[in-house]
Amino acid sequence: MDKGGKQEFIIRVCCIIAAFVLWLFITSTENPISDYKIKNIPVQLVNMDILDDSNLTLVPGQELEIDLNIKGANTSILLDKKAEDFTVVADLSAYALKEGEQNIPIEIRRSPDNINVVNSDSLFIRVNLDKLVETKLPINFNISGVPKQGYYASEPQLSKESATVVGGSKFVSTVKAIIVEENIQDAESDVIKSYKLIPVDSKEKAIDEVTVKPSHIDVKIPIRKTKTVGVQVKTTGKLSANLVLGSIKVLPERFDITGSAEALNNIENLSTESIDLSKISKTSTIDAKVTIPEGLSLVSAASEATVKVQVNVIKIVQKSISLDIKYVNLDTNYEVTPLKNKSELVVSASETVINSLDLSKFSATLDLINLVEGEHTITVLVPMPEGIKLISSSPEKILVTITKKQTEVTNNNDNTSE
């Protein structure tokens, strides 16, 4: 750069510095009017009760704020101002309200004395209104966790069964349920609390944009001791003569019950309603109700219990058999002549036993002990193997004749001739 160029550059720098110094002097001594913008000043809505009268509500989530352009004597005064120095309101009662977005005039009710608001008479705030609706929904109590072992949680007792959801139609329509939640893990006594009602959508996500009335309810969750007991089957009547009872089985065999400590201590088994055996002609499975004594209840959600009772019956059949009659205990000095040598029997047993009958296990005998010569009527003894019943025996008695045995005599006749 030549000498003339350097001098020109220095002159320009000096001019800029002089202009800046002059600006500082003027702003500090002459107080020129300056413009400035205050951002995010909250707008207060007044006379909100007009919304209820019009069945409208403010859509949640709106940022009701406004920016103001202000003027002041100098920049330092303007820079000192904040949003909190202003009170800005929108009077809802001064406007014909309707559903949807609309502009509401605003009023500046408080501002610093040493500034002016530009266009303060033509400012608006955009407000979104929705139709105010309400719907009544049942309250669902969601319990998680399980009580301490040996205890059971009975059905929760709610101070109210339903509540009302109030709010804008857009948000109320998304509410599908009102829930209360409680974890009863390892509880061993009644849970009694006041719970906040939570409105949720179909995915159980909380909807915060609505109001629930009432907001809380009182709930009691009874926690009771439990006991496992068996089931006794009650019967009435008798099976027909050709049937015998094989066994009775019941499913399920046991139930968990709950109730007061005294009631639990006094019970060992539950009983079914009576089953009439006289109406059973074959092995059958019958549905029977279980009687739950007063003061007790089932741990399961069911209010009553039903069991399946399997009644196994055995068919009884008869069979005729013929046996040779034998006599015992006859004195060796006698002999016997029976009137009959055969015993005709009719026996009964289960069909299975009859079909596999072993005749070697049967006998028909006459006990002749201490009998002497002559005629005697003796009862035929026919003992029955286990599981077999004697229906009839013919003859029941037999006439026998006992005689002395003949002694063989040898005579030696010696004839001598003289």
Question: Quick check: 296 and 263 in contact, CB under 8 A?
Answer: yes
Evaluate whether residue 106 is within a structural domain: yes
pLDDT in tens, 190-231: 899 999 999 999 999 999 999 999 999 999 998 888 889 999
Q: How many helices (H) and strands (E) does the chain have?
A: 6, 31
> What is the band of 23 on the pLDDT scale with cuts at 50, 70, 90?
low
Range of the domain at 16: 3-130
Q: Rounded to the nearest 5°, which phi and psi values hold at 66?
A: -145, 150
Long-range CB contacts (< 8 A, 24+ apart) of 24-27?
27/74, 27/75
Q: State the DSSP code for 242.
A: T
Residue that is last in its domain, among 282, 315, 348: 315
CATH number at residue 350: 2.170.120.30
Q: 238 and 219: one domain?
A: no
Q: 214 and 300: one domain?
A: no
Spatial distance between the Cα atoms of 125 and 106, rounded to a whole number of angstroms: 7
Lookup: tokens for 125: 């705030």
Lowest mean pLDDT among 30-34, 177-181, 214-218: 30-34
Q: 12 and 126: one domain?
A: yes
Q: 100 and 24: one domain?
A: yes
Residue that is last in its domain, among 292, 315, 338: 315
> What is the band of 369 on the pLDDT scale with cuts at 50, 70, 90?
very high
Evaluate whether residue 124 is within a structural domain: yes
Evaluate whether residue 266 is within a structural domain: yes
In the beta sheet, which residues pair with residue 132?
A: 168
Asked if the model's pLDDT at residue 80 lies above 90, the reply is no
Residue that is last in its domain, among 284, 315, 346: 315
Q: 264 and 354: one domain?
A: no
Evaluate whether residue 413 is within a structural domain: no
Lookup: tokens for 268: 């060992």
Q: 322 and 374: one domain?
A: yes
Mean per-residue pLDDT, 48-74: 85
Spatial distance between the Cα atoms of 101 and 62, rounded to a whole number of angstroms: 11
Spatial distance between the Cα atoms of 117 and 203, rounded to a whole number of angstroms: 49
Output the pTM of the full model. 0.54
Q: 241 and 330: one domain?
A: no
- Count up the domains in the chain and report the number: 4
Average pLDDT, the chain: 86
Q: 72 and 140: one domain?
A: no
3-class DSSP state for residue 138?
strand
Question: Quick check: 196 and 216 in contact, CB under 8 A?
Answer: yes
Q: How many CA atoms lie within 13 A of 166 on its CB side?
A: 12
Q: Rounded to the nearest 5°, which phi and psi values hold at 132?
A: -85, 120
Evaluate whether residue 411 is within a structural domain: no
Lookup: tokens for 43: 């707008």
Question: Quick check: 394 and 344 in contact, CB under 8 A?
Answer: yes
Q: 77 and 89: one domain?
A: yes
Q: 214 and 325: one domain?
A: no
pLDDT in tens, 110-153: 888 777 787 666 788 889 999 999 999 999 999 999 888 888 88
Position 313 scores a pLDDT of: 92
Q: 274 and 390: one domain?
A: no
Q: 232 and 167: one domain?
A: no
CATH number at residue 273: 2.170.120.40
Evaluate whether residue 351 is within a structural domain: yes
Q: Which of 180, 178, 105 is nearest to 138 (CA)?
A: 178
* Other C-beta atoms lying within 10 Å of the C-beta of residue 202: 9
